[in-house]
Structure 1
Amino acid sequence: MKALATQVALACALFVSVTNAANANSTVTGSPLAGDLLYALPPEQAVRRTLESLPPLRLGTMEQELATAEQARLNAGTHEWTVRAGASQRRVEGERRYTEQELGLERGIRWFGKADQDRKIGEKGVTLAQAQRADAWHEACRTLMQDWYDALRALATVQRLAEQHALVQQLQAAAELRVKSGDSPALEVMQTETELARSEVLLAQARHDAAQALALLSTTYRQLPQPQLDRLPEPQGDQYDMPTRVARITDDNHELELAEVEAQFQALKARRAASERMPDPVLGIRSTRERDGQERTLGVSLSIPLGGAARTAEGDAAAVRARMAEERVSQVKTRVQLDAQRAVAAQRHTYQAWTSLRQVAQQSGRQAQLMERAWQAGEANLSDALLSRRQALDTTLAAQTAQIAALAAAARVQLDAHALWTID
């Protein structure tokens, strides 16, 4: 029993260590992350239901179905069986009339590997449609994420301005009491009224902006819950170096994959167009019945079109399109590399900005409290207290905005690295 207990303890320790290692490496290996807990995003299931209902994603599904149908068409080929039938009468001078019939069956044949080329084009077309849908999914995720964090910023602004408005109301009430008791001049009441009117205007504008942001979310993403600020997590610093993170984004990138598949698709089509310079033959079987059946014939026929300038021009155009697609791959590689570097740099910059602003906001808040106490004790004037409170609001709002920006930058890196909201 003692040995069994020891083995169980070792197994539990091993399980815990493996679990911790998996959680620690989840941002590198690409396993799904809890975006709602780590980055204040909506639950993943709600996000997936919302994305699947968006028109661009529904259109992407239809494009996949279209690509599958196109693949079946290419596998079958464009040539079809043609049946020819005819009847005629033969008149011979001094003889009777003879009824004659003719029946033929013919079909074009893809040769020189054209059928295999069409099969490869169909398969690559399905792959291209899948890559297009994956890229559309990723872009929709980016847009949803941006709209979500915009709403969070608007709500944070309303929250802080509402707190400031309440504090100014308290200062106004205190100023009125001091004026009534003769401890302060009436100018202080006018100062608080001016500051209160200013805060009311700012709060009304902030509420309008928040209502617009929430209306955008509720209209575009009907299945998402409303964003909340009560459980806003603290951003976490990136523990991986910049080259590692950038490589994680660029090595598995939907936009680059789409450009590469498009180039491969155009290369296959260019090869197919070049092979069309040798036209397909038409093979036929012909049977005739002449002189009321006294003569019967059975034969085969072979016809080959003579290729002209149109076929050559089409092949040249397809080759140019293939080269253009290859050039776009190079352009996309450069853009993806730059975007990845900017995203990783933005994550680190916003995290550092948040940590600095958080300390400044805490210090500014303590200074505002001390200044208000000094004013109440008659050791400072009201204008200094209001200015200190306004500065505290600005720094607090800047710190919370920086916190949301840091969360958004970190979530963007995880999204681009396919560790968050993956399509598959």
Structure 2
Amino acid sequence: MRQLVTSVLGLLLATTLQAESLPTPVWLPATSQAAAWIEGDASVAFARHGTAAAGHAAQALSTGANEWALRLQAQRRQLQDGSSPSREWQAHLERPVRVNGKAALDSQLGDVERELARALLGEARHESARALADLWIAELAARHRESLAASQVALADSNLAAVQKRRRAGDASLLDEQQAQAEAGDTRRELILARSALTKARAALRARFGAEVPAEAMLGDIGEPALVETAWHARVMEEADGIKARQAELRRARLTAARARADRVADPVVGAFIASEARGSERLLGLSLTLPLGGTHREQRSLQLAREADMSESALEQMRREVDLQARETWADAQGARERWLLSRETSRLATESARLAQRAYTLGESDLQTLLLARRQAALGSAAALDAQAEALRWEARLLIDAHQVWDLEHD
């Protein structure tokens, strides 16, 4: 018995921990700042206006479209006895009345409109969070690439100065100097490209979110996922705003079909009237009741909406399968990116060490300049590949956190 209680408590605790938001990684913006940028995104503002519109739509549905109508009628009656004509008038006050449970269905439809709008707002926030993380990491990677390019320029300039000094001393040829100059030119070209990429990355982040990356921010290491795959996948399926939106659309379609079935019994029009006749000597007070007779149009409309509800159910199942596939692909991509980063980091370390040894050998006269330049080129390529792998792995790690709504208060959507 005690073991059973312990197991149940452990399961409840695990569920609670899975539902909580995790601390934001240091290589992403803080929750308060990120939430403000996301709320200021145009797509999120668009969806937020949609929730306000849905509130008004729900109120309109609850109130109903039926309104009072005033109908006035005047007539002049000429009597055959030759007496003066009788001027008569009537005033009718009428209003249709919802019957057959239509008022309750309209109220439920209003609630579903609000629910759908909230789901669409959550979906907009989710997509905006993805974009923010991608642009943020892109600028960090561009900044790091510029730093790497600048360091390569410094090394190339230092090497060129050393070769020129050795040539003046008669220890290096003109070909060596020209090769060193070519290397320095290549590194400067790479630095220009890196600066252009950084400028564009900053512009993209500022244009979309009005955000700026702090000077102290930098790329971080990639850790293990906070949840195992099965728990992460279950949370993604539970938190998927696209599924929530399709569920709301299905409920709306079913309620709309039920409303159409109820509408096969047309709303009666009730009213009261007052009339004056016989030269004002007679006053009439009465009630009126108009019963519209439903026909083929109402019946076919009801059948149409029933089929559209079936379509919404199929759309929900399709969305579930798409989210399921995307989640599995995201997990696989994240794991693969992490493994590629670890391999690239080690390869870059070995290439950098080889370049260091080649520099030492060249300084001691144990190898030629071509060997040194080749080692440096390989080290530079290795560093660039490691940087690309690191940025890619961080993007997928951010995607894991965002899709599971574990950062930036997305779990409240």
- How many correspondences in the alignment? 399
1:140-199 deviations in Å (ceiling 9; x for gaps): 111121122222222222221211111111111111111111122221111111111111
SS state at 2:279 partner: helix
1:183 is matched with 171
Q: Give the counterpart letter for 1:33 in structure 2.
A: L
The change in CA–CA distance for 1:240 and 1:102 in structure 2 (over 3 A counts) is closer
Quote the residue 1:32 is aligned against.
Answer: 21
TM-score, scaled to structure 2: 0.90
Contact 2:140 2:217 in 1 (8 A): no
Q: Which residue of 2 aligns with 1:355?
A: 342
Write the distance in 1 (CA, Å) between the matches of 2:221 and 2:140.
14
Query: Per-residue deviation at 1:244?
Result: 1.9
Please say if 1:204 is aligned against 2:200. no
Deviations 1:14-42 (A, max 9, x none): xxxxxxx9xx97995243334351xx112
Contact (CA 8 Å) 1:35, 1:411: kept in 2 or not?
no
Contact 2:102 / 2:262 at 8 angstroms: preserved in 1?
yes
SS in 2 for 1:278: coil
After superposition, the Cα gap between the structure-2 partners of 1:422 and 1:230, relative to the gap in structure 1 and judged at 3 Å, is closer
Counterparts in 2 of 1:228 and 1:255: CA distance versus 1, 3 Å: farther
Residue in 2 that maps onto 1:307: 294
Cα distance, 1:130 vs structure 2: 0.9
Aligned to 2:390: 403
> What's the CA shift string for 1:179-220, capped at 9, x where partnerless?
111122221111111111111212211211111111111222
C-alpha RMSD of the superposition: 2.2
1:320 aligned onto 2:307: yes
Find the residue that maps to 1:41 and give its secondary structure: coil
Question: What amino acid does structure 2 have at the position aligned with 1:31?
Answer: E
Structure 2 partner of 1:105: 93
Once the two structures are TM-superposed, the CA of residue 229 in structure 1 deviates from its matched residue by 6.7
Q: CA deviation at 1:231?
A: 3.9
CA pair 306-298 structure 1, distance change in 2 beyond 3 A:
same
Among candidates 206, 213, 221, match of residue 234 of structure 1? 221
Alignment partners' CA distance in 2, 1:322 and 1:228: 53
In the other structure, the counterpart of 1:126 is 114
Determine the C-alpha separation between the residues in 1 that align with 2:353 and 2:71. Answer: 97
Whether 1:366 aligns to 2:353 is yes
AA partner of residue 246 (structure 2): A
Would the alpha carbon gap of residues 119 and 87 (structure 1) be closer, same or farther in structure 2, given more than 3 Å must change?
Answer: same
Q: Among 340, 350, 362, which residue is 2:327 paired with?
A: 340
- Structure 2's unaligned 5+ residue stretches are 1-9
8 A contact 2:136–2:213 mirrored in 1: no
**Residue in 2 aligned with 1:4?**
none
- 242, 251, 254: which one pairs with 1:255? 242
Hey, what's the Cα distance between the residues in 1 that align with 2:89 and 2:341?
A: 92
Instruction: Tell me the CA shift for residue 294 of structure 1.
Output: 4.0
Structural mapping, 1:209-228, within 5 Å: 209-222=197-210, 224-226=211-213, 228=215
Q: 3-state DSSP class of the match of 1:35? A: coil
Give the equivalent residue in structure 1 for 2:132.
Answer: 144
Superposed CA deviations along residues 279-303 of structure 1, whole A, max 9, x for unmatched, are 1111122333322354443332222
Alpha-carbon distance between aligned partners in 2 of 1:374 and 1:98, rounded to the nearest angstrom: 125
1:109–1:282 contact (8 Å) kept in structure 2:
yes
Structure 2: which amino acid aligns with 1:392?
A
Kept in 2, the 8 Å contact 1:36–1:44? The answer is no
- Contact map agreement 1:26 1:32 (CA 8 A) in 2: no
Aligned to 1:233, what secondary structure does the other structure show?
coil
Other structure's SS at 1:104 match: strand
Q: Separation in 2 of the partners of 1:233 and 1:281?
A: 69
Question: What is the DSSP-based 3-state SS (H/G/I as helix, E as strand, rest coil) of the residue aligned with 2:224?
Answer: coil
**What is the TM-score when the length of structure 1 is the normalising length?**
0.88
Contact conserved, 1:155 with 1:229, CA < 8 A, in 2?
Answer: no
2-structure distance, mates of 1:66, 1:173: 69
What letter corresponds to residue 319 of structure 1 in structure 2?
A
Paired with 1:87 and 1:218, the residues of 2 have a C-alpha distance of 69
Partners in 2 of 1:364 and 1:210 — Cα distance? 25
Match of 1:54 among 36, 41, 48: 41
Question: AA paired with 1:276?
Answer: D
Shift of 1:340: 1.0
Contact preservation (8 Å) 1:27, 1:419:
no
What secondary structure, in the 3-state scheme, does the structure 1 residue paired with 2:86 have? strand
Q: CA deviation at 1:55?
A: 1.8
Q: What amino acid is the match of 1:165?
A: V
Is residue 102–residue 289 contact of structure 1 (8 Å, CA) maintained in 2?
Answer: yes
From the superposition, tell whether residues 127 and 291 of structure 1 become closer, same or farther in structure 2 (CA, over 3 Å): same
The offset of 1:96, in angstroms, is: 4.4
Amino acid at match of 1:64: T
Q: Which runs of 5+ in 1 are unaligned?
A: 1-20
Tell me if 1:382 matches 2:369.
Answer: yes
Mapped contact 2:88–2:277 kept (Cα < 8 A)? yes
- 1:287 to 2:274 alignment: yes
Q: 1:255 to 1:109 in 2, by over 3 A?
A: same
Residue identity over aligned pairs, in percent, reads: 29
Residues 229 and 340 from structure 1, CA distance in 2 versus in 1: closer, same or farther, beyond 3 angstroms? farther
